Structures are given as C-alpha cells and as structure tokens.
Amino acid sequence: YTISGLPTGLTFNAATRTLSGKPTIAGSYVVKLKATDVFNAVTEIEIKLTVEPNTKPSIPDFSAPMAFKSKLYSFTFPAATDIDGNPITYYLDSEILSRGMSFNNETRTITGITEATGEFTCKYAAFDGIERTEKQFILLVDPNTAVQTTEFETIKLYPNPTTDFIIVEGIEIINSIEIYSITGKLVGRKIVNHENSATVDVSIFPTGNYIIKTITTNKSYVQQFIKQ
C-alpha cells in the first residue's frame, strides 16, 4: 500500500494501513490510496479528507489579588477549556518569577514571598500543542503590610455591589483610601481627615470589579467591590 496527498502532520503505516498524527493545516484534501499486488496489478481510490481548524484554548476571566511585600502570596489560575480535547500546558511569563515568586504549571499556582514592589506585567498562557492563548494582567505588589478583611473584621464596606458611591466604616481611624482596577492599576485616591468612616464617589468608574485599600494608622485593609 502507498498513499499520497496527506496533509502535513499525518503519516501512513503501510503495514497496518493506519493514518496517524496531528494535521497542522486545516482544509480539504484528496488522498490517493494505492494497492499493488504481487503481479503488479494496481487499484487506486481517492479519499476526501477534511481537516477542521483547531480551536484555541479558552481561558476564563479572572482577577489576581494584590500581593504584599514580605508576605506569602498564593493564587491559583483558572483552568482553560479546549473543545478539541487536546491536552493543555500552562505557562506564566513575568519578571516577578525572578523576584521570589514561582509558578507550578501542573497546579496553575503562583506562590512565594517577594521583596520587590510595584506593578509587574504577567502573561498567563494555555497551549494545546497547536495554538497558544494568553491573558495579560498586572500583579501589584504593595510595599505596605496589609490584612485581607472578612465580614467579621473591623472594616465594613457597603453597598456592595454599588452604582454611585461606597461607604467605608471601621473602628480604626482612616487616613486614606485607594481604589485599584482588577489589574492592579491605581484609579482613585481619597484622603480622609482622620475619621473612622468615609464615602467614596465611584460613579465615574466603568462597571466591573475593583480593589479598595483602606489605610489606617497601623494597617491596610484590602477588599473587593463591584461597580454596576
């Protein structure tokens, strides 16, 4: 048996009469299969073969929380989906990986302690063996020691979600409030005159998720809110 006209990436095993491999170029192909017997009699048939285009992996939207200097950080990225069923390999490209952080591509988790501060551009990628999908985001590493708040702690945030304003209340004296986009970019700041509550106008912000950092005399508290 011999064959011709195969798309790139496919091979033919004459002994088992088997096609195998991963075609790399989508399209319609006319494959010619020829059978020759011991008397050199030949039979040839044409086979129409269609290679569908590969679909890139799809990465869901995500928001990586802010990191803090000298504090253990850990975040697990969402898994990508591949409708073609191809196995996916994950990558993370960023300068922060040379500054104390590491990325485990099996668990999709970035973790570590960094002494660096500032904004770090990161690219989270999923590769299905054919095509790569990337999502870029900014990881903000704050120089201040901060406390991630819960509803049981000392800072209250309401209404959440909100459309026009958000109120921050606490038992501690508030010095200032900073608002960051979910990518870590500072988009707003309010100085508070040493009071334990403040109202922040967020009406001009586009809809989406935001990070609000409440800075008191002793600590910083980080929460998230939704602008509708």
Nearest to 139 by CA among 90, 81, 92: 92
Is the peptide bond preceding residue 159 cis, with omega within 30 degrees of 0? Answer: yes
Same domain, 97 and 168: no
Same domain, 159 and 212: yes
Same domain, 152 and 193: yes
Same domain, 71 and 44: no
What whole-number distance in Å separates Cα of residue 228 and Cα of residue 224?
Answer: 13
**Could you list the residue range(s) of the whole structural domain that residue 174 is in?**
146-227
Residue 153, pLDDT score: 58
CATH number at residue 32: 2.60.40.10
Same domain, 18 and 91: no
Structure token pair of residue 42: 């030949």
Domain count, the chain: 3
Asked whether residue 59 is domain-assigned, the answer is no
- β-strand pairing of 109-112 with 73-76: antiparallel
Same domain, 87 and 119: yes
Residue 68, pLDDT score: 83
Structure token pair of residue 30: 């006319």
Asked whether residue 62 is domain-assigned, the answer is no
pLDDT (tens, 9 = 90+) of the chain, 228 residues, equals 999 999 998 999 999 999 998 888 889 999 999 999 888 899 999 999 998 888 899 999 887 888 888 888 888 999 999 998 899 999 999 999 999 999 999 999 999 989 898 889 999 999 998 889 999 988 888 776 555 554 445 678 899 889 999 999 887 888 899 998 866 778 899 988 778 889 999 999 998 878 888 888 877 788 888 888
Nearest to 166 by CA among 141, 215, 200: 200
- DSSP output for 47-107: EEEEEPPPPPPBPPP--PPPEETTS-EEEEPPPPB-TT----EEEEEEGGGGTTEEEETTT
Residue 44, pLDDT score: 93
Asked whether residue 82 is domain-assigned, the answer is yes
